[in-house]
Amino acid sequence: MNERHERIRLSEKIGYSLGDLGGNMAFQMMMIYQLKFYTDVFGLDGALAGTVLFVAPLLTAFVDPLVGIATDRTHTRWGMYRPWVLWTALPFCLFYVLAFFNPGIESKPLVALYATISYVLLLSVYSFNNTPYSSLGGVITSDAHERTSLTSIRFVASTVAQFIVQGLTLPLVDHFGAGNAQRGWTTTITLFGLVAVCCFVVTFLSTRERIAPPPQQKQNIRKDASTTFGNKAWRTMFFLTLLLFVTLAMFGSAVNYYFQNYLDAGALSTFLNQVGFSTSHSNAYSIGFSLFNTVNAVVQLLGVLLLSGYMSDHLGKKTTYLLCLSLTTLFTALHFVPAPDDVAAIYALGLLKSLAYAPTVPLMWVMVADVADYIEYQNGRRATGFCFSGIVFALKLGLGLGGALTGIILSGFGYIPGAAAAQPASAVTGIRLAVSLVPALLFGLATLTVAFYPITTDVNERMQRTLEERRKTQTH
């Protein structure tokens, strides 16, 4: 079969995309609310909460190569990667709920221990689910256009998850809790977890693996590691992913505090009333923050649909990334400028940032899939799971570092966890830095990293032609 020119059914693309919707039901929560949950529900100091977020990914570092090794050596009638998406569905839901469950422990060290254990479990099952899921996208097709289409639809689904989690979490917590915050959190997370389970089952049932390692390839962990880690394209994507998710986690965590502690509640309430939302000072934060996330998710969705494929087809993936990350850096830095009552300006900057970043969202995983091809092209070996496992580890480590850095900044500038009164001016300054200049600096470093990515459009086309000819030869 010539998989390079095989068109993938829309139903299979949608089925595959639902796996990312399921994964993002937890990932978006970890990125936006995990630090806030630890400081304001568990009552942990910002630095201690940040330590939990940093230590947990390090404790699961061995999991990711283990997942890559295991999935690349899985042989079932359903394929190498699909079964893992199904097998991990229920554990994913269980550990997700535990990570946002308050057991009522009074001792802060014990609370931190519980938080660490539950977060380690969640990150571990996330690796066992997301690494094979991401690898699956690399073996459904090798056609460049179909791969971009598949990944674009995947990130439409992830944006839907972003819309649900970022836009509806606080209203659902208030609704289900009815004054009992822990009951609200537990019910909301359980609901999100069950949605994830359903999505994973559909992904398993609706997809098919078409690309296999070369038939003459012998299993060799040392060679898989050396050809992967020694590859310039893979190292570039590792550091790019790390920097991106440090930045995304930092901004996502800090903007929550930004809305609650920096924006003027009266000005925010007035703005929301003007755009059709009946609010008061008491609920302006939850409604305003949810609206900010919802509108940005919609704009990002439109950007993915309208701009990503068009820009990558006309400019190439690398150039698109460089241009869009440069603009994202600028709009992120500008979040430091608005005054507390410049609510419209803050929403406008959020929209511009989301639109600028949107085209890069599906391209990252397309580029990682291209790296798996590039390693096979250069070395004659294919270890898709191992390739993706390292990137997933970079993602998790970035998520932890971003949350940790935000927590350290909050603590260093004097943030008081769960304070009923206004935060000190120094803490507000720390929040402003954590939502603007510091993540902008990291976005800038990520932009520089893209310059080292060696797979240009010409290289990719030459690579796919060569691989196609090899696969024809190997099947005869």
CA distances from 86 to 12, 22, 73, 116 (A): 16, 12, 17, 26
As given in the structure block, the two tokens for residue 407 are 């927590």
Distance CA 230, CA 238 (A): 12
pLDDT of 26 reads 94
State the Cα–Cα distance between residues 341 and 288, nearest whole angstrom: 13
Dihedral angle over CA of 396, 397, 399, 402, nearest 10:
180
Place of tokens 């599906």: 362
Please check whether residue 145 is in contact with residue 5, taking contact to mean a CB–CB distance below 8 angstroms. no
Distance CA 112, CA 126 (A): 21
141 in Cβ contact with 360 (< 8 Å): no
Q: What is the identity of the amino acid at 448?
A: L
| DSSP for residue 143 | -
φ, ψ dihedrals at 282, nearest 5°: -70, -30
Q: What is the average pLDDT across 10-16? A: 94
How many Å apart are CA 439 and CA 334, to the nearest integer?
A: 11
Per-residue exposure over 100-125, b if at least 16 CB sit within 10 Å of its own CB, e if not: bebeeeeeeeebbebbbebbbbbbbb
Q: How confident is the model at residue 4 (pLDDT cuts 50, 70, 90)?
A: very low
With a CB cutoff of 8 Å and minimum separation 6, the contacts of 319 are none
pLDDT digits (tens, 9 = 90+) for 437-476: 999 999 999 999 999 999 988 888 898 888 888 877 765 5
Give the predicted TM-score (pTM) of the model. 0.78
Please check the confidence at residue 70 and state whether its pLDDT lies above 60: yes
Place of tokens 């920096």: 262
Are 427 and 408 spatial neighbours (Cβ–Cβ below 8 Å)?
no
pLDDT-derived band at 206, boundaries 50, 70, 90: very high
Dist CA 431 CA 434 (whole Å): 5
Residue 71 · residue 131 · CB < 8 Å: yes
pLDDT interval class at 343 (50, 70, 90) = very high
Residue-level pLDDT at 2 = 41
Contact 188, 169 (CB under 8 A): yes
